[in-house]
Amino acid sequence: MRVDSRAGSQELVRPLRDWGVAVEETLLVAGDVEIVGNGPGGRPVLVGIEVKKIPDLLMCVRTGRFADQLRGMKHTYEINWLLIEGRWAGFAPRQDIVVRRDEQWYPIPGRVTYQEVASWAITMCNAAGVLVWRTECAEESVAWLRAHEMWW
């Protein structure tokens, strides 16, 4: 597994290694994590994974920044994943999302509803071909990344 050496992605390296994953730190063209999978007939398949914590994801929904990141991923990888990390609440109509950190719930600046985020994620899946998975915490993200690499 290759992990981007820039800030944000870098925090995945130590926990992945602690779980026994062979990690190469490098500057990736796109995405936070790259897996070279064993595809049909032994053909290598490049899998790109962008990891977004919920506050960063919500900024992407508002600014469109993920669209630029996705263009780079689509040019680089055969399979593209968006891994969304964090615990949120606020599922009632027109209720703003709140994010849990430690034992506290915090509002997200900019008033974003669950419906907006869900619609955005569904668009990414259906219109842009991105696979989406959500984890509750950093430990679960590392476990998912390890499982993903082992699957390939």
Q: How far, in Å, CA of 94 to CA of 92, rounded?
A: 6
Q: Which pTM does this prediction carry?
A: 0.92
54-58 average pLDDT score: 88
Please give the distance of CA 149 from its chain centroid, rounded to a whole number.
15
Mean pLDDT over 89-95 rounds to 85
Write down the H helix ranges in 64-136: 65-76, 114-126
Backbone dihedral region of 147: left (phi > 0), alpha (psi from -120 to 50 degrees) or beta? alpha
Region 85-100 average pLDDT: 88
The pLDDT score that the predictor gives to residue 102 is: 82
d(CA 40, CA 128): 24
Give residue 71's pLDDT: 92
Mean pLDDT of all residues in the chain? 92
pLDDT at position 127 is: 92
